[in-house]
Amino acid sequence: MIEVHDVTKHFGKVHALAGASFTARDGQVTALLGPNGAGKTTLLRMLVGLLRRDSGTIAVDGVDPGADPLTVRRNIGFLTDQFGLYERLTTREYLRYFGQLNRMERRAIEQRIDEVTALLALEDILDRRAKGFSQGQRIKVALARTLLHRPRNLLLDEPSRGLDVMSTRALRRALAALRADGCCVIMATHVMQEVTNSCDDVIVIANGVTVAQGTPQSLCERTGIASLEDAFVKLVGTDEGISA
């Protein structure tokens, strides 16, 4: 479970977060929705201890990532906008390397590589070097690395960008499997269809403040609007930065 209470962060004069609060529960996929610049990435980076907050509290399974980032990182997978692939390594070599970094046993690494390969349909790129990979291939490999060590908490920053229809389906299958395994997943996205298809709960953030949290249906009921996209626009007061 991830709990955030009244978190603030500024970069110079920019107030990236001005009071963000929410709870993301285990066994749920929680969407983090907000316009461009709302503070989503800043928040995710704080949850893994990559950024220090100015004030407020954060607990990832009860541990403060600001105070003990290493403990938090052992149980968290973070898919960022920087994929961090190594051009000269094949997908298999890259996944093995990250498995070793996460201190997985050799046999467990091989077994898990087989599992994530099947889950994300990586067969055709498993033994190819990353140099020349398309955007969609890159994100799938990065996602495989994120899932490899079976972290209990997953932070996914726009995981569906650049994915084709088959890969989008693979992502949905992966999210469903994580939910079934009882993981806590937070997914920042601009794609409303992904929220409707895959998310149990939605956090809406605007100008660094969380303005609403609830199921897609409850947000629609609260705003009196049938479509989640229109409800989101009403909650944030702008139609900037969303895609259908």
Ligand X SMILES: Nc1ncnc2c1ncn2[C@@H]1O[C@H](COP(=O)(O)OP(=O)(O)OP(=O)(O)O)[C@@H](O)[C@H]1O
Residues near ligand X (CB under 6 A) are: 11, 14, 16, 34, 36-42, 241
Give whichever of 44 and 85 is closer to ligand X, judged by the CB atom.
44
Smaller CB separation from ligand X, 34 or 99: 34
Of 39 and 49, CB closest to ligand X: 39
Nearer of residues 17 and 113 to ligand X, judged by Cβ = 17
Work out how close the CB of 97 gets to ligand X at its nearest, in angstroms, rounded to a whole number. 28
Look at strands 153-157 and 76-79 and give their pairing: parallel
Cα–Cα distances in angstroms (integers) from residue 203 to residues 6, 83, 112, in the given order = 14, 24, 31
68/81 with CB nearer ligand X: 81
Could you give the strand order of the β-sheet that contains 28-33, starting from the edge strand earlier in sequence?
55-60, 2-11, 14-24, 209-214, 201-206, 28-33, 184-188, 153-157, 76-79
Smallest distance, Å, CB 178 to ligand X? 22
Residues, the chain: 244
Could you report how far apart the first and last alpha carbons of the chain are, in Å?
29
The half-sphere exposure of 151 on its side-chain side, counting CA atoms within 13 A, is 29
We find the least distance from the C-beta atom of residue 188 to ligand X, in angstroms, to be: 6
| Closest approach of ligand X to the CB of residue 6, in Å | 17
In the structure encoding, which two tokens stand for residue 158, read together?
């726009």
Residue among 201, 120, 199, 124 nearest 167 (CA): 120
Shortest Å distance, C-beta 39 to ligand X:
4
> What minimum distance in Å lies between the beta carbon of 207 and ligand X?
9
| Number of neighbours of residue 103 by Cβ within 10 angstroms | 8
Whole-number Å distance between alpha carbons of 21 and 40: 12
Give the nearer residue to ligand X in terms of CB position, either 11 or 224. Answer: 11
Q: Specify the amino acid at residue 8.
A: T
Q: How far apart are CA 223 and CA 194, in angstroms?
A: 20
Of 38 and 141, which has the nearer Cβ to ligand X? 38
Minimum distance of ligand X from residue 93's CB (angstroms): 30
